Amino acid sequence: MKVALFIPCYVDQFYPNVAIATLELLEKYGCEVSYPKNQTCCGQPMANSGFEHLTGGCDRNFVNNFKGYDYIVAPSGSCVLHIREHLHDEDDPEEAKKIRETTYELISFLTDILKVKELNASFPHKVGMHQSCHGLRGLKLAQMSELNAPDFSKPAQLLNMVKDIEIIHLGRVDECCGFGGTFCVAEEAVSVKMGQDRVADHIQHEAEYITGVDMSCLMHMEGILKRQKSNVKIIHLAEILNGGTK
């Protein structure tokens, strides 16, 4: 199948290793992967700030770059959710609709489309899994803890295939880290306090690494960890599933 790699701005600029891990994972499972070189921001920051009506150029550019593929895959729940729920193009509404329906976050693509049953990966560390709000409540990657419903977790399903990993149990399994896109700029103090609480839960349960599907959340917590001079590190799920850091 022909897959287009959609790499969010901050991943491209600050965490290119996550993009590389995503590419390698997709190729391991037989995908023919392309990277549209003229891709830019998907428009999520503007939409989060109340300016979705100004994202027409971003939408049109996204459609022009990603049309013609079987699937579009990104290592970011928040950016994928934005595309799936908000992408429109008045010049080509049918293509925009198709792109909305075929854009996947990496973990859901591995579990739902590729139906991965085993992984050649080892990660001998204690790992805490952060459930990002967009992935959890938007893309339904796992069951929300506040619901009286059967439990499931697509990220945990894959992590359990990794050899030697120890997934720790957190006190608040799906609490927000406080990043929230532009929320961390508009409400800096609240955002930082929420992030400190989220980090403290992982530290209390002796995590060596914090992982998740959104580098934006992990980036937020990484900043807090560094300011606290903590030895706890962050790592995207793609990096663990692709082999991990020994």
Tell me the one-letter amino acid at 122: S
**Terminal CA-CA length for the chain:** 31
Q: Give the per-residue pLDDT at 117.
A: 95
Least Cα distance to 79 among 15, 153, 134, 140 occurs for 134
C-alpha dist (Å) from residue 48 to 44, 53, 82, 217: 6, 11, 9, 15
Angle between helix 77-86 and 93-102 (nearest 10)? 150
Phi, psi of 16 (to 5 degrees): -60, -25
What is the residue extent of each domain of the chain? 2-113, 126-241
Q: Among the CATH numbers 3.40.50.11810, 2.170.190.11, 1.20.1080.10, 3.30.1240.10, which is that of 126-241?
A: 3.40.50.11810
Predicted confidence at residue 246, as pLDDT, reads 41
Helix (H, G, I), strand (E, B) or coil at 92: coil
**Strand locations in the chain, DSSP E?**
2-5, 32-34, 71-74, 103-105, 126-129, 166-167, 209-212, 233-236
Residues 231 and 242: their CA atoms lie apart, in Å, by 23
Global pTM reads 0.93
- In sequence order, the β-bridge partners of residue 122 are 163
Written as tens digits, the pLDDT of the chain (246 aa) is 999 999 999 899 999 999 999 999 999 999 999 999 999 988 887 777 777 787 788 999 999 999 999 999 999 999 999 999 999 999 999 999 999 999 999 999 999 999 999 999 999 999 999 999 999 999 999 999 889 999 999 999 999 999 999 999 999 999 999 888 778 777 889 999 999 999 999 999 999 999 999 999 999 999 999 999 999 999 999 999 998 644
